[in-house]
Copies of this chain bind each other. A is one copy, B any other.
Amino acid sequence: MSSVKVGLLGLGTVGAGTVNLLARNRDEIARRAGREIDIVHAATRHPDRPRACSTEHFRLTSDPFAVVDDPAVEIVVELIGGEGLARELVLRAIDNGKHVVTANKALIASHGNEIFEHARRQGVTVAFEAAVAGGIPIIKAIREGLSANRIEWLAGIINGTSNYILSEMFYQQRDFADVLAEAQGLGYAEADPTFDVEGVDAAHKLTILASIAFGIPLQFDKVHVEGITQIGSEDIAYAKELGYRIKLLGIARRVVGKGISLRVHPTLVPQRRLLANVDGVMNAVMVHGDPVGSTVYYGPGAGAGPTASAVVADLIDVTREINTDPKHRVPFLAFQSHALSDEPVLGVEEIETRYYLRMDAQDTPGVLADVTRILGDNGISIEAILQKQPPPGADHVPVIILTHEVSERRMNAAMAQIEALPTIQGRLTRIRVEHLD
């Protein structure tokens, strides 16, 4: 049987890693795919620059459209990133009848519905294991490994940069700004770290995970997103004292009879949970399904090797799909079918969860009584209170409260009333708490 012909868009670190991996494990890969996989055409902005891979076995061009229009190419691998040119190229590849493998989470999260509709019409596959959690085969695990389950919720550490920063803040008792600067020096954070530290990158990935887990359309704009820039080192210390770690989680949860909650925010996680112990740039996703219960998938969320691992696994899967008689093909994605669920995405005010509150209170009798009365009046019960010594020279003391489960709506009301107390200084810090059980 002839080899499968692949066109590659982008020859940066992941692109070169993909070329090298296909060469290095060539025989194994052919055995698993049922055919050899050959890159025949690749596009890069600067074809003349030296590369981290050999380029002698394929045509090299600076025109990416030459690759997606090449009649010999059966699968296009998109590794250029971004949403503009990448979208145009991927749609054109699909409309040319080619299958697509992409590592581009922003593209799938923001334009996936359009892309999958084109793919459905053309009868081609769009695979994107590399777009979420790098080397962890989480898309396959949810889509196939847990295919018999009804997924109830999932929660993931799906941004390595913010997890690295939170880990350093925890272990080294350092401040956010300090660690961020170091992470930028180490190459763990971009010069403009907004996408990572403000939760946007995690929201892209959560959008994709939720779509597969619940069979809903991609709805990136409905994800509630909060980053880690407001997390103080004191919050990390108080959380530890209470038995928790603070992690930036992407959470998708089916709220029976109401809809799907989609949110990215810093979260207190009990320190005994596996997710609480995922450190540095690593990623992990916990999935709770019926009847399986909870399973967790952990691994490197970025980097040339892990991403190439996922890209080539997708190439093998797509090759096996190509080997299949077209009239027996099952859509690669649940959401490539027509049967998308129309369950609504809930606003964050609809959720019910536990809360960590931190406030600066006047060091006078009766303040705690006012605060607890307001919480009680709003039907909020308290699990724990920490009242710390005032910092030297200060007349305000930090008060930390952990609550039991309550609706965000009630918590918003209670917080407004507490902030209005003359004995409370400034705004409250509110971090949601998830027990993940």
Contacts and interface: CB of A to CB of B under 8 A. Distances in A.
Contacts of A150: 25, 28
A32 to B, nearest CB: 5
Nearest to A330: B34
Nearest to A317: B144
A278 to B, nearest CB: 8
Contacts of A148: 21, 25, 29, 308-309, 311-313, 315-316
Contact of A274 (B17, B289, B298): B298
A330 B34 CA distance: 6
Interface string A311-349: 111011100100111001110001001010000000000
Contacts of A337: 31
B309 A299 contact: no
B291 A299 contact: no
A334 B29 CA distance: 11
A85 interface: no
A140 B311 CA distance: 16
A292 B305 contact: yes
A151 B300 CA distance: 16
- Identify the interface centre among A148, A279, A304, A317: most chain B CB within 10 Å of its CB: A148
- Identify the interface centre among A21, A129, A146, A320: most chain B CB within 10 Å of its CB: A146
B325 A147 contact: no
B277 A289 contact: no
Contact of A330 (B144, B278, B313, B320): B320
Interface size class of A (residues with CB under 8 A): 35 or more
A81 interface: no
A413 interface: no
Contacts of A393: none
A122 interface: no
Given A145-B140, A308-B148, A328 B323 contact: yes
**Secondary structure of the A side of the interface?**
mixed
Interface string A4-46: 0000000000000100010001001101111000000000000
A372 interface: no
A339 B317 CA distance: 20
B291 A306 contact: yes
Given A296-B296, A306-B292, A306-B293, A141 B135 contact: no
B31 A292 contact: no
Contacts of A34: 328, 330
A316 B29 CA distance: 24
Contacts of A297: 141, 295-298
Contacts of A272: 277, 279
Interface in A265-309: 272, 274, 277-279, 284, 289-300, 303-306, 308-309
A50 to B, nearest CB: 21
Given A277-B274, A306-B291, A313 B31 contact: no
A378 interface: no
- Identify the interface centre among A289, A304, A334: most chain B CB within 10 Å of its CB: A289
17 contacts: A17-B291, A31-B337, A33-B147, A34-B330, A140-B140, A277-B277, A291-B305, A291-B309, A292-B305, A292-B306, A293-B303, A294-B299, A296-B297, A296-B299, A323-B324, A325-B325, A325-B328
Given A135-B292, A141-B145, A293-B305, 18 more contacts: A21-B148, A29-B148, A34-B328, A129-B145, A137-B145, A141-B141, A147-B313, A147-B316, A272-B277, A274-B277, A290-B305, A291-B309, A292-B300, A293-B299, A296-B296, A298-B298, A323-B324, A325-B328
Interface of A: 17, 21, 25, 28-29, 31-34, 129, 135-137, 140-141, 144-150, 215, 272, 274, 277-279, 284, 289-300, 303-306, 308-309, 311-313, 315-317, 320, 323-325, 328-330, 334, 337, 339
| Top 9 A-B residue pairs of the complex, sorted by shortest distance between their CB atoms | A137-B145, A291-B305, A148-B312, A295-B299, A325-B325, A292-B309, A296-B298, A135-B292, A34-B330
